[in-house]
Structures are given as C-alpha cells and as structure tokens.
Chain A
Amino acid sequence: MNWKFSGKRALVLGGTCELALTLAGVMIEASLFPILTYRNEMGQNIIKKALPHLEGKYDACYLDLGNRDSVNSLFSHIGDNLDFVIDFAQGNYESLIAQADGDIVFRYFNESVSMRAEVLKMAGRIMLKKRKGRLVFISSTAAARPNPGQGFYAAAKLASEALYRSMGLELGRRGITAVILRPGYVDAGRGKEYLRVHDKKILETVPIKRAVTQEEIAETILFLLSNSASGMNATDITIDGGLIYGK
C-alpha cells in the first residue's frame, strides 16, 4: 500500500532500539526522513550499522532525556522543520513498588515523563507554525496490564500516554494530532529478552500464538503517520494478537 503523508521530517525518539531502526528503514523506503536520537556513542554506531549505505536519507542526533541541555540542542539542530514525532524512548526500571529506590524512581520519572513533556512542548511549538503535525507514542500493553515489578514502567507509560492524548486534544484543531500504539509481545528488543527469560510458552496465552513482528509494528506506525489515519486522534490502538482481551 502506498500511503500518502503530509510532511517528510520525522523525529524518532529512542532511535537506537530495534523497532525504531526497522521503522527507519520502512520510512526511508516511503521517502520520509527520519531523525533518530541516540544517547551515547554506542547508540550512534548502532544506527550507522543498521542503516548502511543510506547516508543522507536520515539523520542522527544526540538526546539524553536526563540532560535538559541536550533537548535544547536537539531542537536547535532540527530547526523549524518537523512534521512527525515517533516516540520509542523508554528507560526500564523493574522493581516492586514497596522495594524501590527513591532516587532511582525520581530520576526515572523525570526522564520518562517530565523531559518527555519538554520534548512535546518544543515539537508542538514547531508544528504550530505549520499548523500540522502527527505524534505517535509507542506505549505497551503493560501500561494497562503490568506484571508484578512493572509498576513504574506502567506508570510512566500511562503518564506519557496522557501527555500525548492531551496534545491531540489541545492542538487537534490546529492540525496537530496524536495517537498511541500499544504493542503486546514483540519479537524485538526488550520484548525478545522477556520472551527468552519467561519461556516462549507464554505465547500460548496469545490468541494468534506468536509474538507480533517488528515489521508489523513498523508498517502499522507508517499507516498511523499517513493521511489515511489522520482521523485517529487522542486515542490508543493495541497490537497484541488479541492478548489482553482474554483472561
């Protein structure tokens, strides 16, 4: 399917994760221009390695959500030209709530929620000048149905979902919309690791009896960025093979 897009330049937060890199490839094929963020030199090299021979068709930029200056630098680099944001950025902190380290919790929410709000503010202000823009937040089914130990992860995802929904609610009438994608078990990154640790038998609980693939996620995101999906705003979509509907 050849989707049509209102814009070209897309900021991909958390640009070094497997899903983001798969998406970047799909976006480049669709003539979009991804700007992938990395938080260290290793991340920068991961991007280069994952997108060989594609120099000039994407950009990579430093962003550490623990460092507010890096947010300012990122947006100075981007300038006044931004059409999409796709947000994969998410630190992980697994702990029972009653067992958590207060300092880590404070830092975790600062990076996962407060700094995300700062990024959204700056992206939204750029998009307002053009009176168009599309925001896609990659959440997780764990936001709605966390396992024990995922409480902070779920809380950060839900808070971030609320930020995105509100962006769509507040700026929708100025052509800036937002949508949230909640993947279930995905055979990539943290999901792949989870399935390895918790045994693949866990996939027996998924009605389609398999994990969702990276390509399926990437193509769904591409659709969500397209004009065909522009009526979807301030809402969430689940892509989990039917996992959370059943017991």
Chain B
Amino acid sequence: MDTFTEIKKILIELLDLNGGEITPETYLIKELGAESIDLLELAVAINSRFKIAIKDEEIFLTRFRLYLTEATQQGKDIGPYLACKYPFLTEDRISEIISNISEGPQLKIKDLMSYITYQLQEV
C-alpha cells in the first residue's frame, strides 16, 4: 500500500479536489484549505484505511506552537523537546517547521505520511 497514493485518494474524496495539486509538499491547511472538520474526517478515514490508532493532536501538529513556547519558556533545548513530542518527524522537518512557523499552519501531506509510517512500524 503506497501511503501517499492512499492519502491523496482520501483527500480528493473529502475535499472534492481533482488531485493534480496534491504532492507530499502540499500544505494541508494553507493550500488545500482543510478546516477542522475536514481534519477530523481525515483522521477517521486514515484510521479506517490504515487500521492504525490516530491521535489527532499529534498527526495534525495541533500543539506544535504551544510546545515551542513551552520549550522556550522553560529554557529547554527546542529540537529535542519537539522531537520527543513528535517522534515521527525528522530533525530536519522540525527545524523547517520552526523556521517557517510565522507563515501560517505548516502541516504538509508528508507529515501525515511520516505519522502513518511511524504508527505502522509501532504496530
């Protein structure tokens, strides 16, 4: 099962897209306009398709900003702190999100793919 193809299929159905605009680098909220209810449906669909448990706040990086503030306020090393909260993201990806965070929601399709791959390995 190709994770990207499956996610793409789900998104085309949920967001009524033609598919051409979806790549692993596509921003889910900024570019595809996914709203909170779409993300909820996406979580349900991923759970159903891949048979993995989904923690919505993790897969959608919902608390990323909060953790970033937390680490800063507590004087912690930001990279390892966030890596601990998001073990499915690479160090490079975490750095990328931090550097672009002022530009709006950073969630990309590839983050979903990372989460799914990580969860499948855990199972």
Contact = CB atoms under 8 A, between A and B. Distances in A.
A173 B40 CA distance: 13
Interface in B12-49: 37, 40-41, 43-45, 47-48
A125 B46 CA distance: 12
Nearest to B43: A125
A129 B40 CA distance: 11
Nearest to A126: B44
A129 B41 CA distance: 8
A174 interface: yes
Q: Determine the interface band of chain A, counting residues with CB < 8 A from chain B.
A: under 10
Contact of A170 (B37, B47, B48): B37
Nearest to B38: A174
Contacts, number: 16
Interface of A: 80, 125, 128-129, 170-171, 173-174
User: How many residues of B sit at the interface, in one of the four size bands?
Assistant: under 10
A168 to B, nearest CB: 13
Interface of B: 37, 40-41, 43-45, 47-48
A171 B37 contact: yes
Nearest to A171: B37
B48 A174 contact: no
A130 B8 CA distance: 20
Nearest to B45: A129
Among A128, A170, A173, max chain B CB count under 10 A is at: A128
A170 B41 CA distance: 12
A174 B44 contact: no
Nearest to A80: B48
A171 B48 CA distance: 19
A80 B48 CA distance: 10
B37 A129 contact: no
B104 to A, nearest CB: 23
Nearest to B54: A125
A170 B37 CA distance: 7
Contact of A174 (B37, B43, B45, B47): B37
A170 B47 CA distance: 20
